[in-house]
Structure 1
Amino acid sequence: MTTDTLRASRTFSDWIPASWAYPETGATRDLRFDYMRGFVIPLLFATHFDFFSLLMFVGWERIGIVSTAEIFVILSGVVVGMVYGKKVKRDGLPATMPGLIQRSVDLYRISVVMILLVAAIRYVPWIDSTVITTFFDAPNNQTYQLYPPLDGSLSTLISKALLLQIGPHQFQVIGMYVVMFILITPLVFFMLSKQRVWLLLGISWVVYAIHYGAPFQSLRPTGAQFEYAFPIMAWQLIYVHGIVVGYYKQEVVAFFRTVWGKWLIVASVLLSLGFMFLTWNHPLPHIPQWITLNMIPAETFHYLNNEYFSKSKIGIGRLLNVVVLFISIYALLTLCWQPLNRALGWFFIPLGQASLYVFFIHVFLLLAIMNTPLPGYKDFWINTALHIGLLAVVWVMVKKEFLFRWIPH
């Protein structure tokens, strides 16, 4: 390990062995981000494969009032800022644009393919596609159809698919990411290349504030389906800030080595623990009450959750939670990389490096498992075996690079 790495690790803490620290090599790829994205995958499975199992103890917003979507979007922004930012700094924005455009085309294509494949599956008589063609709103006991009727016109289906106005709700966050990548990324890099970072961040906050103060679902400029759950005017905030952090990663890391930076890490850890305590009081109606702390009245929790932690608008409490959780996890991986990598890096890193592929594949795994009797048993241990088995299948598919030639990863 280099002297710089030893010095950096001791800057954060004197009591954690320096030999545990992440080896800073200066490489563009940061395995800590791959590890974090891989960690998101079990949380994703706990959410979309909605079976009560051991995964629930980390999924279903158990580590904070944040979902997999916020973590995925902010990580995507950071990685885009690092990878394409390096090219912008080295070759300039015009030379970088072809790569951005090609990535945009790939992302858009895979989204349309997903929508059309699910649309075609609806016509197979022995497959029940309800789980990916409808959305059940449990609090209001209402089911929404996500696709046009089977007897609708083909032209309507195709036009809605091209505009991302239909599709499985389990894939919606990818649709949002596609649109943000296409519409926002070039503008962000243009302003960064002109050193207008504060103007960029100011505009991002103004757009967020306009949406935050508007009536619910009144501002959906793209008209795409994902905006019902992930309105782009709100969610662009964490994506844009993620790109900026990735673009200035060296400067950001240097700040966290200062006295103020170390105090910010301590504050982030304490706040993350506080948010974790809060979310463990969530009175979820469809899980046993013995797993909740029940120290905060249900009415109080629901008020705080609705007022400050709205997922669609990214309430200010949820925004703070995702930021401090991100800082805390990154600091933990920086300090304790070697033992954490040995323990679970073999599993998380491959999944994190192929996260888009996993998002695509998991929709069809969900369809397959829901067409078996297994979910109907509603047994804790069967559900746990299902979750672990499905994750193992995805991990093997990633390691074998199954369909990597056709599915972006």
Structure 2
Amino acid sequence: MTTDTLRAPRTFSDWIPASWAYPDTGATRDLRLDFMRGFVIPLLFASHFEYFSALMFIGWERIGVISTAEIFVILSGIVVGMVYGKKVKQAGVAAAMPGLISRSVALYRISVLMILTIAALRFIPWLDTTIITTFHDPYGGKTFQLYPPIDASIFQVISKALLLQIGPHQFQIVGMYVVMFILFTPLVFFMLAKRQLGLLLGASWVLYLINLGSNPFFRPTNAQFEYAFPILSWQLLYVHGMVAGYYKQEVVQFFSATAWGKRLVALCIALSLGFIVFTWNHPLQQFPEWARLHFVPADTFLHWYNTYFTKNTLGIGRLVNVVVLFIAIYTLMTLCWQPLNRMLGWFFIPLGQASLYVFFIHVFLLLLIANTPLPSYENFWINTGIHIGLLALVWVLVKRQFLFRWIPH
């Protein structure tokens, strides 16, 4: 037995059968990331179809003080870094630009199409579009109009749509991704190609910290999404995700084959569990008493939450949570891929591979359900049926590639 073997830290992976591991063939497509994006979809439904159901016990920040947005943004950055980064490494930034421009145009087009379609639906007299044309702040008790008055000129509506200044709040994260993709992606690849990694990450942190300490925070694009997702704050996740995707092999090698990497994985798992325990102390009255912990007093929890875990400016606690949870889940799927894939891959992977399509479709499903009597029953089992039924419907639409020709996926 060598000295290195004696010093190697033992981890829980030593007790997991090697046959369960993910078969990493070196392919650009990583099914673990597709699986994770698919897992986000039920959490998305829990956030936007706000009917309390069994789904809320995994949504509503129950697996950590994070939302679907953080996971979606970091995954988007990783995938962009992997897919387009491969071309950048082989042929340079210029060779990747046509693909980047094409994707940017497709994302922008689908965002404007969504905004204008909802604007037109408001003129159907028997259709109540309130759920997607307004935003109600449950904490402040205020309701915000997300569209101009129905008698506004068509030129005003179109101009605001083109600038992404209006639209359903359930789709606004896609608007953020459009701007992020156009403004940051070419610059990040340029700096990576020039081997300016330190300068890139340093600049990203400076922008984040400037906005974190600003009151009110900066909204340079003046787009609607910046009220919830200010670009200077949220670029941090996207940029670091791109870097992780670009250097994926090196990052994976560090965490899986070095002693320090393994220690950090163990720390990420421990912190993830700690954040789960912490968030279960949230004094949400919707959850029954048995589903809430009381280790942290309600006043203390809310103070910490509002100080370190704010969503719009991506509080430092929320940022740490999403990073450690991502590493923990990715490690779990790497080591236990075969059983997880057999159990749930058939459902999550197709949804993850068509996540943009699901984002588009779910807005219209939300409008459809809101115009039925079902939500008014406010019944846990009816609500659970709504969520399960909608998820099943979306899965079928994806498998049948319904409207894939027109809706980017």
TM-score range, shorter chain: over 0.9
Deviations 1:165-184 (A, max 9, x none): 00000001110011000010
Deviation at 1:297, TM superposition (A): 1.1
Q: What's the offset of the Cα at 1:45?
A: 0.3
Alignment partners' CA distance in 1, 2:286 and 2:265: 35
2:344 corresponding residue in structure 1: 344
Q: CA RMSD in A?
A: 1.0
Match of 2:223 in 1: 224
Paired residue secondary structure (1:135): strand
Equivalent residues in 2 for 1:2-401, closer than 5 Å: 13-217=13-217, 219-256=218-255, 257-401=257-401
Retained in 2: the 8 A contact 1:191–1:197? yes
C-alpha distance in structure 2 between counterparts of 1:244 and 1:12, whole Å: 28
Maintained 8 Å contact 1:65/1:279: yes
Deviation at 1:289, TM superposition (A): 3.6
Q: In the TM superposition, what is the alpha-carbon distance from 1:274 to its structure 2 partner?
A: 0.3
Runs of 5+ unmatched residues, structure 1: 1-9
Conserved? CA contact 1:12–1:262, under 8 Å: no
Q: Percent identity?
A: 72
1:12: how far off?
7.0
**What does the per-residue CA deviation read over 1:249-277, in whole Å, with 9 as the maximum and x for residues that have no partner?**
00001101211010101000000000000
Q: Please name the residue that 1:3 is paired with.
A: none
Cα-to-partner distance string for 1:345-392 (whole Å, 9 max, x where unaligned)? 000000000000000000000000010000111111111111000000
- What is the TM-score with the length of structure 1 in the denominator? 0.96
Q: Which runs of 4+ in 1 moved over 6 A?
A: none
Alignment check: 8 A CA contact 2:11 2:266 kept: no
Counterpart amino acid of 1:88?
A: V
Deviation (angstroms), 1:287: 3.6
State the Cα distance separating 1:285 from its structure 2 match.
Answer: 3.4
Change (3 A) 1:149 1:86: same
Amino acid at match of 1:226: F
SS at match of 2:216: coil
Work out the CA distance in 2 between the residues paired with 1:11 and 1:85: 32
Q: Is the 8 A contact 2:115 2:161 kept in 1?
A: yes
Tell me how far apart the structure 2 counterparts of residues 298 and 151 of structure 1 sit (CA, whole Å): 45
- Alignment-mate amino acid for residue 55 of structure 1: L
> 1-side partners of 2:116 and 2:43: how far apart?
26
8 Å Cα contact 2:34-2:349 kept in structure 1 = yes
Q: Please report how far the alpha carbon of residue 295 of structure 1 lies from its aligned counterpart in structure 2 after TM superposition.
A: 2.5
Unmatched tracts of structure 2, length 5 or more? 1-9
Deviations 1:317-351 (A, max 9, x none): 00000000000000000000000000000000000
Q: CA deviation at 1:296?
A: 1.5
Using structure 2 for the length normalisation, give the TM-score.
0.96
Amino acid at match of 1:112: V
Equivalent residues of 1:51, 1:375 under 8 A apart: yes
Give 1:7's aligned residue. Answer: none
| Cα distance between partner residues in 2 of 1:166 and 1:286 | 31
CA contact (8 A) 1:61 1:279 kept: yes
Distance 1:92 1:189 in 2: 9
Shift of 1:245: 0.1
CA contact (8 A) 1:211 1:233 kept: yes
Q: CA deviation at 1:11?
A: 8.4
Cα displacement string for residues 182-226 of structure 1 (whole angstroms, at most 9, x for unaligned residues): 010000000001011111000000000111111033x10000000
SS of residue in 2 equivalent to 1:144: strand
What do the CA deviations read for 1:273-318 (whole angstroms, capped 9, x no partner)? 0000010011113443432112221100000000000101111100
- The residue number in structure 1 matching 2:3 is none
Letter of the 1:124 partner, please give it: I
Secondary structure at the aligned position of 1:14 is classed as helix
For residues 77 and 97 of structure 2, the distance between their equivalents in structure 1, rounded to whole angstroms, comes to 17
Q: Is the 8 A contact 1:283 1:289 kept in 2?
A: no
Separation in structure 2 between the aligned mates of residue 346 and residue 359 of structure 1, nearest angstrom: 19
Q: Which residue identity does 2:343 align to in structure 1?
A: A
Preserved CA contact (<8 Å) 1:269 1:325? yes
Measured in 2, the distance between the counterparts of 1:370 and 1:287 equals 23
The whole-number CA distance in structure 2 between the counterparts of 1:133 and 1:373 is: 19
The one-letter amino acid of 1:50's match is E
